[in-house]
Amino acid sequence: MARITTALATAAVVSVSAVSCGGPDDDPVLVLAAASLTDAFATMETEFEAANPDLDIEVSFGGSSALQVQVEEGAPADVVAFADASPMAALVDDDLVDDPTVFATNALVLVTPADNPGGVTSLDDLTNPDLLVGVCAPQVPCGRYAAELLDRAEVDASLDTQEPDVRSLAAKIAAGELDAGLVYATDVDAFPDELELIPLPDGIAVRAEYPIAAVSESSRPDDAERFLDFVLSAEGRQILADAGFGER
């Protein structure tokens, strides 16, 4: 049975597994994945388990930097998938993951609620202090990408919130709690009726690369590799494409 948790619940997952399961083979394969992968990896989990009924996958979503810390602190993860190379590089430097592979790409986009109540037409409108504008926190990939995009566009945005992950930011914009924000292209696919895409100027696009790797201390290395192979397979690539991700 597919089970999806949030990154904040990982500690609880760890403690429950430790006391209620008899050994590593009784535990699910734990995948820590960036929040922007929520829809794609929910489908990935369902399809993988259907093709591999002997395995149970559990996916925990959150900001890539928070997931990096979880691995560094010894969370019993088997696979990690991030929205940026930097947190993965840090895990590589500490010998905590094996041979990362870029498996998908994404792009940062400007969006408003579907009815665009603030009348936003360009990035320059983000300088208006009367508008409610959001980006991701600077320690997570979508926040770093937002800073890079605004710098390229020479826009000094008047920011009202910096969210801990892109999914919470996209949800606030979709709900009309913000007038505009910078999220991933895949979030527009996730909220097709609630978000309006505002075109960006030519030449400032920011491309996000998504690496995935097995955790070096995984208690299920063979099963982790099976899931990795599925993500990188033609079926996995199709799931990612359907969710709006670009080719690696």
* Residue pLDDT, tens place only, 140-163: 999 999 999 999 999 999 999 999
Flag whether pLDDT at 12 surpasses 90. no
- State residue 227's pLDDT score: 98
Q: What H or E segment, with its residue span, contains residue 57?
A: strand 57-62
Of 139, 145, 143, 150, whose CA–CA distance to 200 is shortest?
150
Q: Residues 14, 41: contact at Cβ < 8 Å?
A: no
Same domain, yes or no: 133 and 193: yes
User: What is the Cα–Cα distance from 204 to 115, expressed in whole angstroms?
Assistant: 26
Of 163, 149, 139, whose CA–CA distance to 67 is shortest?
139
Same domain, yes or no: 82 and 131: no
Of 173, 226, 167, whose CA–CA distance to 195 is shortest?
173
- State residue 6's pLDDT score: 38
- State residue 17's pLDDT score: 36
Give the C-alpha distances (Å, rounded to integers) separating 139 from 55, 85, 135, 166, 169: 34, 13, 11, 12, 14
Of 60, 68, 61, 97, whose CA–CA distance to 84 is shortest?
68
Residue 104 main-chain phi, psi, to 5 deg: -165, 165
Same domain, yes or no: 14 and 81: yes
> The domain spanning residue 114 has which CATH number?
3.40.190.10
Same domain, yes or no: 32 and 58: yes
Q: Residues 81, 31: contact at Cβ < 8 Å?
A: yes
Site of tokens 């840090």: 90
pLDDT digit string, tens, across residues 61-91:
999 999 999 999 999 999 999 999 999 999 9
* Domain interval for residue 30: 3-105+209-242
Same domain, yes or no: 25 and 59: yes
Same domain, yes or no: 95 and 218: yes
As for how many domains the chain has, the answer is 2
Same domain, yes or no: 232 and 201: no
- State residue 48's pLDDT score: 97
User: What is the Cα–Cα distance from 116 to 128, expressed in whole angstroms?
Assistant: 15
Same domain, yes or no: 187 and 128: yes
Local confidence band at 109 (pLDDT 50, 70, 90 cut-offs): very high
Per DSSP, helices labelled H in the chain are 10-20, 38-51, 64-72, 85-93, 141-153, 166-174, 185-190, 221-232, 234-242
pLDDT digit string, tens, across residues 113-143:
999 999 999 999 999 999 999 999 999 999 9
Read off the tokens for 9: 């619940």
User: What is the Cα–Cα distance from 213 to 79, expressed in whole angstroms?
Assistant: 6
Q: Is residue 99 part of a domain?
A: yes
Residue 247 main-chain phi, psi, to 5 deg: -70, 150
Instruction: Give the predicted TM-score (pTM) of the model.
Output: 0.83
Of 47, 88, 31, 96, whose CA–CA distance to 208 is shortest?
88
